[in-house]
Every structure is written in C-alpha cells, then in structure tokens.
Amino acid sequence: MASVFTKIIQGDIPCYKIAEDSNFISFLDINPVKKGHALIVPKVEVDYIFDNTDETLAKMMVFAKKVALAIEKEVVCKRIGIMVVGLEVAHTHMHLIPMDVEKDLSFSNPRVKLSPEEFEDLTNRIRKHI
C-alpha cells in the first residue's frame, strides 16, 4: 500500500507544500515540534533512509539546504536542525526543525498547534524564498 507521503506526492491528499522538483517534495509537518518544522521526502518510496541510492542521498541534502535557508528567512531561530526517525511513516524523510537549543529537537516536546490559516500563511511566506 502506498505511504501517506506517496499519496501526498500523487496529489491524493493535501499538504502545505513548500517546494518540489522531479525527485523530492517538501511540506510542513502536520504535527510540528516547532513552528516551521518541515519534511523533505524523496518521490521514490523507500522505507529506510540508508537503502536509498548515493545519488538520492546527495541530492536530498542539496534540496534540504534550499528549503532550510527559506525557513530561516521566516522563522526566528539560531539554525535549522536535521532529524531522521522514520518510525511512524515508512517512507524516507528528513525533518527540518528550527532550533535555538538542543532540546528543541525532541519529539517528546509538546507539539505546536497551528490553525489551517496559520499553516497556509507560513507556507506562503516560506515559499517566497525558494
């Protein structure tokens, strides 16, 4: 069965899309640990990140850089942290999380609640910098 991220890539379910090219898509995490928390997802569905080709992994970091720099322009933070977990969604993805202190990267932190309008507004503001 297709992963939830493949369904997003295919346009079957909506997302707050920041960027897309022929190999990757980036959208805001629906349950963010920090405002501006985004995901980077390869379009080819592979569960474990290290089962991806070297080429995909290299290109993924370059794509992530573009998105991270755009997030930084709209979200006040010291830097963008990168996390890879993948225990909930079995489709490779990288978390980009605005951070000021190490603890900001903990998935045990309470999640940030944003309205659909706030998600939309944040998406549009970040997209301007892509």
Tokens coding 105: 């990267």
Provide the token pair at 70. 């755009």
Active site annotation includes 95: no
> How many other CB atoms are there within 10 angstroms of residue 52's CB atom?
17
CA distance 63 to 38: 12
User: In the bound complex, what is the minimum distance in angstroms from residue 12's beta carbon to ligand AMP?
Assistant: 11
Residue 85 vs 130, nearer CB to ligand AMP: 85
Q: What spatial distance separates the first Cα and last Cα of the chain, rounded to whole Å?
A: 32
Measured distance CA(38)–CA(21) in Å, rounded: 16
Among the options 37, 91, 93, 95, which is catalytic? 93
Instruction: Give the x/- contact pattern for ligand AMP in 22-41, rule: CB under 6 A.
Output: -----x-xxx-------x--
The residues in 58-97 that bind ligand AMP, with binding defined as CB under 6 A, are 85-89
- Tell me which residues touch ligand AMP (CB under 6 A): 4, 15, 27, 29-31, 39, 85-89
Could you give the residue numbers annotated as active site? Answer: 93
